[in-house]
Structure formats: structure tokens, C-alpha cells
Chain A
Amino acid sequence: MYGYQIAKLLDDYSGEASFMKQGALYPVLRQLESSGLLGSKVEPSVSGPPRRYYEITAEGKETLVVWQGVWKQMKSFVDKAIKGA
């Protein structure tokens, strides 16, 4: 997917209450790329400038699994804390 597609997808997920500006996505994509979690290639586009397509790397997939674990723990902790309150 290229940057604009990812931004649109995130917007679709967040619905009306968009939690971030699309412009903030690009520096994050670049940071993920420079740390080896994403790979990218530029391909020509029929309508407009060439586009940079991003793809998750093997290292990125491994890190994603770790992040998902951390997120589950965090979510269960917050859920428990709210119920207890």
C-alpha cells in the first residue's frame, strides 16, 4: 500500500473521530522504514507522480507479534483497572 491508501484506511477505521492528521503518518512510516520494520519501493502511477509502496518486513512481522502481546496485556490491565474502580 502507498502512503495515501494507508492514511485513508486509518481514517476509515477511526470513523468520524479521526485521532491523527494524515500528515503525521509519513514521518512515522519513514521511521519504521529506517528501523527495518517496513520496506518500500517506488512504482510509477498512471495518474500522477510515482508512488512509494510500503511492505512489512520479516523483522516487522516479528515486532508486530511482540507489540500485539504488549497491547493485549495493556488492554487487559486497563480493563481490569476500570472495572475495579
Chain B
Amino acid sequence: MINSIEEYLDQLKTELKDSDAATVQDALSDAEDHLRAALANLREKQPERSEDEALNSIIEQYGSPAETASAYAEVERRTVPQLSRDNPKTESVFARFFGVYADARAWGALLYMLIAFVTGIFYFTWAVTGFLLSVSFAIFIFGLPFALLFFLSVRGLALLEGRLVEGLLGVRMPRRPLFTQQNLKWFERLKELAMDRHTWFSILYMLIQFVLGTIYFVLFVTVLSISLSFIAIPVLQELFNLPTIQIREGVHYFFPTWSYPLLVLGGFLLWTIFMNLARGIGQLHGRMAKAMLVTD
């Protein structure tokens, strides 16, 4: 006999303990939505039934925590994030190294590295401004509601970043907002958010993303420029007669013709190495995002 929705959600969480953290978050959110809607509906239609009785008849139709958990585990087993589907399973190291060009996760990671620069700046500005304003406004009457709005915006941005990470890096992230009790007064809600480790980890992530986003962007632009320069040297020297290095006025250095294939090969290899590195960075970043943005 389950006496409250919270008890059901606790049991469901226990049943899902071996599942992916993002699945747990989705399952709790779905169950809470359904049970609350069904309970409100049933209480309206049959006000004479006690809440316990009504809840248990709803759970009878919805499924016990164990049944619901197995439904999620089953679907989760069959559904994998979009980019992790086409993971080329090549045998040799050579094929795996050059196979990076056909790996959607590597291209996704490259795109993420570019986007992270913009989102990093935005997150950092939002987190610092929001936090400092919340602290400064605390002496005013609207200070606490402002802090609540800031914390809620952090939760929203964490969910958004999760969708970006799943879409581009192929790491499973929550698809539903984090489960929160709906019947709390705003002050209790603020207290709950402020006491929640998840909120502070999300803020920390927003700060870290600024540094990481900048590093990713600089790496991307630098390696792309160097690789393209190497590949372009033969064209620039032969077609446009442009020297590669100019030491001082009138003293130019040209690479010898025999080195052209080596330069082009060098540029191509450098970019390939970077693509492999980007794929690795993407996976590491995905794990970090999951650890910081998804609750246990």
C-alpha cells in the first residue's frame, strides 16, 4: 500500500537504481505528472473516496513502481542517443584513426567545441550576474523571489545544455525537467533549490564552461589554421608566388618543391589527429556534463 505520490516516486527511484541517471529523472517526472493529474481528476469526479484509496486505484492502472521501472528499462535498452548509433566498429587502429571522418560523433564534437565558446560566455555572464544580483537584492523585499527566478533559470539552462550535449556528443541526458514537488510555497521552493547540490553543480558547470569553451575554440581555430596553412603552401607558392616565411624586407623563404607532398600530408594528418582528439574531448565533456547536470 502506497500512501503518497512521494512514496511512489521514492520506490520508483529505488527500482531504477541500476538505470541511467537521465532515465531515472525522466521516469520520475512522467510518473509525477501522471499521478497528480489522475489524482486531481479522480478526486473531482469521486470526492467521497479517500485520498489513499484513490491513489491506490490510480497506481493499480498506472503500474507498480517495479512494473513502471521495467517498462523504462526495456525502452531504454532499445533506444540509444542519436549519435551513438553509428559508431563504426572497425578492427585495425589505422582504420579507426582515419575512420574518424565518417564518425558523426567527431563532427558533432567539433560543432560542440565551436558552440561551447558562445554558450560558455552566455552561461558565465548569466551565472555571475544572477548570483551577484541575488546576493545584492537579498536586503530588498524582492530579493528572495529574484533568487528563486535565478535558480529556476539555472535549472532550465542545465536542461537545455543537456539537450545540446545529447544531440552533439551522443551522451544520454535528461529529456524532462528535474522532478520537484509541485505543491510547495515559493519560499519552500527557494529553500529546496538552494539546498540542492544539483543547483550549485549546475552553476559551477556554467562557470567552468566559460574556460572550457574558450580553450575548445582556441584549439579548434589554431589547429584548423595550421592544418590548412600546410595544405595551402604548394598552391600559394606555385600559383601566387607567395613566400611561406618572410624574415625581413626582401629576404623570403620558400619550401622546396620536393617537400610539397610532405607538407600536404602533414596538414592532413594534423587535422585527422585533431578530429580524433575532438571525439575524445567530446566524450570526456559529455561525462563531465552528465556528472554535474544530472542528479544521482
Name the distance in Å between A57's Cβ and chain B's nearest Cβ. Answer: 16
Question: CB-nearest residue of chain A relative to B69?
Answer: A23
Q: Any chain B CB within 8 A of the CB of A28?
A: yes
Cβ-defined contact, B34 with A23, below 8 A: yes
A21 to B69, CA, bound (A): 12
What chain A residues lie within 8 Å of B68 (beta carbons)?
21, 23-24
Cβ-defined contact, A23 with B32, below 8 A: no
Cβ-defined contact, A48 with B182, below 8 A: yes
Cβ-defined contact, B26 with A49, below 8 A: no
What chain B residues lie within 8 Å of A54 (beta carbons)?
none
Cβ-defined contact, B71 with A27, below 8 A: yes
Per-residue A-contact encoding for B71-101, CB less than 8 Å = 1, 0 else: 1101110110010000000000000000000
Interface size class of B (residues with CB under 8 A): 20 to 34
Per-residue B-contact encoding for A2-42, CB less than 8 Å = 1, 0 else: 11100100010000001001111011101101100000000
Cβ-defined contact, A48 with B40, below 8 A: yes
Per-residue A-contact encoding for B151-180, CB less than 8 Å = 1, 0 else: 000000000000000000000000110000
A48 to B82, CA, bound (A): 33
What chain B residues lie within 8 Å of A47 (beta carbons)?
40
Interface size class of A (residues with CB under 8 A): 20 to 34
Name the distance in Å between A17's Cβ and chain B's nearest Cβ. Answer: 13
Q: Which of the candidate stretches B59-67, B136-144, B213-221 sits at the interface with the other chain?
A: B59-67
Q: Given contacts A48-B36, A49-B182, are A21 and B62 in contact (CB under 8 A)?
A: yes
Q: Any chain A CB within 8 A of the CB of B222?
A: no
Name the distance in Å between B26's Cβ and chain A's nearest Cβ. Answer: 6
- Residues of A that sit less than 8 Å from B by CB: 2-4, 7, 11, 18, 21-24, 26-28, 30-31, 33-34, 45, 47-49, 51-52
- 20 A–B contacts from the bound complex (CB under 8 Å): A4-B41, A23-B31, A23-B34, A23-B62, A23-B63, A23-B67, A24-B71, A26-B27, A26-B31, A27-B71, A27-B72, A27-B74, A30-B26, A30-B75, A34-B175, A48-B37, A48-B182, A49-B36, A49-B37, A52-B33
